[in-house]
């Protein structure tokens, strides 16, 4: 997060002071009415207060450049080169400086391009809130909020700023991200005493907290870094959260740094003991160390991830962070809801089923329209869940919508996932009052009296047909308010039946995921019979079904065993969903959860990869790592395959660095001990490393064998170490054969030896990619990408002709005889054949390390939520309060 000049002080001294002020006083201080700001006034305030952001996701040049320059080995090498310049070895020092600059520039250009791709990706993800502007409800981006805006809060919203409440209906907020308190806090409108602690500000809703129940309206007091959330976020590291992929990269890099450190020290000490020039020995040792360290690994990874994000974006999948693509590739279990993934997701109202002959279908529809949290404006429904929206939009309810004008809603008990229903208090045109309740049939019927057997039979038939059903019930009352305690002794009016048919391509998507080794399990709020019917129709085994009550009755060990044999989890609570995911994660592997509702947030946070959709609730999108613009399992399958492809290509670079590249550097170090001259000048080693690295920047474009996509792969440092100990020495065998050829056959002098060794080492360490890139034997059964083939052959060609160019003298090379190239061709062929033999043996005996569950930082949720309030502009520094 970028912090710049301090922001203006918060209005009224901040949210604590606003909480101690009456609502009328707050509105007066903010110079705003309940109708909200005008658009012109909002623009004026935005200029003064700046964006409602606590972080900036802008790609910055200097941090990326520092990422390339921060290697201590590089700093030592440049220092030694500078020292050699002042003691007379100026040409070598200049060459080393130029080569280092080119290498750094190569990595910088690729990594900065990846950062720009991440910035563009972040700009595509929008978070909106409903405010009153120009006297009417308007949806705006959360970063456009200004002090004085009037904001509506609903179930599942993430509070977009520090807000003083002036109207609430059963409002509860989860403030654990700020206070650590796990229980939701009841909210009201009364003022609190001055200097009240955050956890007791009952008249305020704080930025970053979650609306767990009810609804409310309030005025924005503080935005961005002036909020309590912004102050806390500024005190934390906002570095993006590390994934297992990044942790693996770090472990691998440290492995090579330790190897390089040990090798460098021993080479330098030995060369000094052999009375070789100290400066030459130092430069040579440091150049060897730089050659071993994976200097371009960040650029290769960044390029792979950036290219992957562009491919995923074209498939309507947005990842919040580039490394999330690779995390998708690790998934082997996917928990998903049913609506929109297995089904079309376009819910259509079908019919009303009266509970008895004394109720007509029109009455059931009318009651269903009344029992909603929807707000109606200009004849259109604003907000509400998809079932309410489908009922409102149906032509069958046209007459009933016209009749609503005669009824007045006096109060609402909002839907929550414990009750699974919504209730409203309605006053009819004749003054009579009644409670109308609508919700999950099982929950509503439990609160009804005298339910006809025929109604229960009709309900069972609808469930068996795979239809979605909500029940509607009512009872007369004589009161002015309504609460959940009034939901009893209801009379069932009937059922509203909706159709959400299976997707035509869902079966094929399920087969694709099965081919990728991903087990799909359905976690739904629907009835168990409905979910099982849909799964059966799509060919997904639906015999294993557990309800939420059955899940709650199992201990952790029993649930772990049941998960593997269960396909459908129905009527599961939010805590139950999170528990299912958590128990599955304990067994290792990668667990993904796809959900778009408030009740999915806990599970999304618990999963290794949380997936939501662009039309999902704020809290679901906030908890997710991946956002789908199109809710489809097919695009998820693309994401899984893309993640595995990126990991496979990254491993290719890693295995090259631990085989021929490491072997060549080790051989050069060993040769320096028995030769009277250095086998390669420091500048030549760096040039070799730069050319080798540039050829590998095309690895992200490479093809990946189909069999490598069938199951996830994970970092295994033990596997990499074993690979290095086998293939590194194999490379050294042919290096020493080259030494023997140069000395005993060609009787090469120092310059010719270095030239031959340069050409041979570059050829072997670059061309081995064709063998290492695939598990197939022989390697030519797998086809590399054209860019990678051209890059590899191009670099080998450059290395071969360089000793014959005008640059040869400057670089310390000389032309090589034809006999050398004939022998080189034979050695390269023999080397690749030996690699194939060793590869067959290695992969037959290789063992796979079981991956355990990953552990997360305690501040994980806060850092992820801070990314929600992010802008490409510079974020202002928080205002410090006394």
Catalytic residue numbers read: 337
Which tokens is 876 given?
């202002």
Cα distance between residue 558 and residue 365, in whole Å: 44
Nearest to 206 by CA among 182, 186, 222, 184: 222
Residue 210: strand, helix, or coil: strand
Beta strand extents in 343-460 (DSSP E only): 348-354, 375-377, 380-382, 408-413, 421-427, 433-439
Q: DSSP letter string over 144-163?
A: G--TT-EEEE-TTPBP-SEE
Which tokens is 212 given?
């767990």
Q: How far is CA 515 from CA 60, 519, 630, 641, 706, in A?
A: 41, 10, 22, 10, 10
538 and 342 Cβ atoms separated by less than 8 Å? yes
Cis peptide bond upstream of 778, omega within 30? yes
185 and 251 Cβ atoms separated by less than 8 Å? no
Cα distance between residue 70 and residue 680, in whole Å: 26
Instruction: Enumerate residues 6+ apart whose C-beta is below 8 A from 70.
Output: none
344 and 501 Cβ atoms separated by less than 8 Å? yes
Cα distance between residue 131 and residue 423, in whole Å: 25
Nearest to 640 by CA among 332, 315, 328, 306: 328
Cα distance between residue 816 and residue 804, in whole Å: 8
Q: What phi and psi values does residue 294 have, to the nearest 5 degrees?
A: -80, 70
From the number of C-beta atoms within 10 Å of its C-beta (0-12, 13-18, 19+), residue 551 rates as buried
Nearest to 729 by CA among 665, 686, 777: 665
Report the interhelical angle of 633-657 vs 297-314 (nearest 10°). 160
Report the interhelical angle of 297-314 vs 244-273 (nearest 10°). 160
Cα distance between residue 114 and residue 123, in whole Å: 14
Nearest to 333 by CA among 709, 34, 607: 607
816 and 755 Cβ atoms separated by less than 8 Å? yes
Residue 12: strand, helix, or coil: helix
Which residue is associated with the tokens 């994976």? 294
Which residue is associated with the tokens 């809603």? 409
From the number of C-beta atoms within 10 Å of its C-beta (0-12, 13-18, 19+), residue 797 rates as exposed
Q: How far is CA 828 from CA 312, 689, 718, 755, in A?
A: 39, 19, 28, 17
| Strand 331-336 with 590-594, pairing | parallel
223 and 208 Cβ atoms separated by less than 8 Å? no
From the number of C-beta atoms within 10 Å of its C-beta (0-12, 13-18, 19+), residue 456 rates as middle
Q: How far is CA 209 from CA 37, 85, 126, 862, in A?
A: 24, 60, 18, 10
Angle at 468 between CA 466 and CA 473, to 5 degrees: 135
Which residue is associated with the tokens 């919203």? 157
Question: Could you tell me the end-to-end alpha-carbon distance of the chain, in angstroms, rounded to an integer?
Answer: 24
């Amino acid at each position: 997060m970028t912090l710049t000049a301090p922001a203006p002080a918060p209005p009224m001294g901040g949210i604590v002071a606003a909480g101690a002020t009456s609502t009328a006083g707050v509105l007066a201080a903010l110079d705003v009415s309940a109708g909200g700001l005008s658009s012109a006034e909002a623009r004026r305030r935005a200029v003064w207060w700046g964006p409602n952001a606590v972080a900036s996701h802008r790609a910055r040049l200097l941090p990326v450049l520092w990422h390339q320059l921060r290697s201590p080995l590089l700093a030592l090498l440049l220092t030694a080169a500078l020292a050699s310049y002042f003691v007379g070895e100026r040409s070598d020092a200049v060459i080393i400086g130029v080569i280092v600059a080119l290498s750094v520039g190569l990595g910088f250009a690729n990594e900065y391009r990846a950062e720009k791709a991440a910035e563009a990706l972040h700009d595509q993800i929008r978070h909106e809130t409903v405010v009153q502007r120009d006297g009417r409800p308007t949806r705006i981006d959360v970063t456009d909020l200004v002090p004085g805006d009037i904001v509506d809060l609903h179930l599942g919203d993430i509070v977009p700023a520090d807000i003083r409440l002036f109207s609430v209906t059963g409002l509860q907020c989860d403030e654990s991200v700020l206070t650590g308190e796990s229980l939701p806090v009841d909210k009201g409108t009364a003022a609190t005493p001055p200097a009240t602690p955050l956890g007791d500000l009952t008249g305020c809703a704080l930025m970053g907290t979650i609306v767990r129940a009810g609804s409310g309206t309030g005025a924005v007091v503080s935005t961005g870094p002036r909020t309590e959330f912004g102050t806390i976020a500024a005190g934390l590291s906002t570095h993006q959260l590390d994934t297992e992929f990044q942790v693996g990269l770090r472990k691998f890099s440290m492995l090579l740094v330790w190897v390089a450190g040990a090798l460098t020290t021993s080479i330098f000490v030995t060369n000094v003991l052999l009375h070789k020039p100290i400066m030459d020995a130092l430069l040579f040792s440091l150049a060897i160390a730089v050659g071993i360290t994976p200097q371009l690994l960040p650029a290769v990874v960044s390029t792979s991830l950036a290219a992957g994000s562009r491919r995923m974006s074209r498939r309507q999948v947005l990842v919040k962070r580039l490394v999330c693509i690779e995390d998708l590739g690790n998934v082997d279990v996917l928990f998903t809801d049913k609506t929109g993934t297995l089904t079309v997701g376009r819910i259509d109202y079908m019919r009303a089923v009266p509970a008895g002959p004394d109720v007509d279908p029109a009455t059931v529809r009318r009651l269903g329209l009344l029992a909603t949290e929807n707000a109606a404006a200009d004849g259109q429904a604003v907000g509400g869940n998809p079932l309410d929206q489908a009922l409102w939009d149906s032509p069958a309810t046209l007459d009933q919508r016209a009749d609503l004008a005669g009824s007045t809603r006096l109060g609402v008990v909002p839907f929550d996932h414990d009750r699974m229903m919504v209730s409203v208090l309605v006053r009819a045109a004749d003054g009579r009052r009644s409670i109308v309740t609508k919700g999950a049939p099982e929950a509503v019927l439990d609160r009804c009296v005298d339910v006809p057997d025929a109604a229960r039979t009709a309900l069972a038939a609808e469930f068996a047909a795979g239809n979605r059903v909500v029940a509607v019930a009512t009872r007369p009352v004589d009161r002015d308010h309504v609460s959940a305690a009034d939901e009893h002794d209801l009379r069932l009016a009937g059922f509203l039946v909706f159709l959400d048919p299976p997707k035509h391509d869902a079966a094929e998507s399920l087969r694709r995921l099965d081919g990728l080794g991903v087990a799909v399990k359905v976690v739904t709020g629907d009835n168990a019979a409905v979910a099982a019917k849909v799964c059966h129709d799509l060919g997904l085994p639906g015999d294993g079904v557990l309800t939420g009550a059955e899940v709650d009755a199992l201990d952790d060990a029993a649930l772990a065993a049941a998960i593997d044999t269960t396909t459908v989890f129905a009527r599961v609570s939010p805590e139950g969903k999170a528990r299912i995911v958590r128990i599955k994660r304990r067994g290792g592997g990668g667990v993904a959860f796809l959900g778009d509702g408030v009740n999915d947030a806990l599970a999304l946070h618990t999963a290794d990869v949380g997936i939501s959709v662009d039309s999902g609730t704020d809290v679901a999108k906030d908890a997710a790592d991946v956002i789908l613009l199109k809710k489809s399992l097919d695009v998820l399958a693309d994401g899984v395959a893309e993640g595995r492809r990126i990991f496979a290509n990254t491993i290719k670079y890693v295995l090259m660095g631990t085989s021929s590249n490491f072997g060549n550097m080790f051989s050069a170090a060993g040769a320096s001990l028995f030769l009277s001259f250095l086998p390669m000048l420091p500048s030549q080693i760096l040039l070799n490393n730069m050319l080798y690295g540039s050829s590998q920047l095309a690895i992200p474009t490479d093809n990946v064998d189909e069999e490598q996509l069938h199951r996830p792969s994970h970092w295994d440092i033990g596997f990499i170490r074993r690979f290095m100990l086998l293939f590194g020495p194999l490379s050294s065998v042919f290096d020493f054969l080259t030494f023997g050829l140069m000395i005993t056959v060609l009787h090469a002098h120092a310059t010719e030896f270095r030239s031959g060794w340069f050409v041979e080492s570059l050829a072997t360490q670059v061309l081995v990619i064709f063998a290492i890139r695939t598990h197939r034997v022989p390697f030519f059964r797998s086809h590399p990408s054209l860019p990678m083939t051209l890059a590899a052959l191009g670099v080998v060609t450059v290395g071969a002709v360089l000793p014959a160019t005008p640059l040869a003298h400057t670089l310390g090379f000389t032309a090589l005889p034809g006999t050398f190239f004939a022998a080189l061709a034979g050695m390269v062929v023999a080397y690749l054949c030996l690699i194939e033999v060793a590869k067959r043996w290695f992969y037959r005996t290789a063992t796979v390390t079981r991956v355990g569950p990953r552990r997360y930082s305690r501040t994980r949720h806060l850092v992820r939520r801070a990314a929600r309030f992010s802008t490409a502009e510079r974020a202002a520094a928080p205002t410090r309060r006394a």
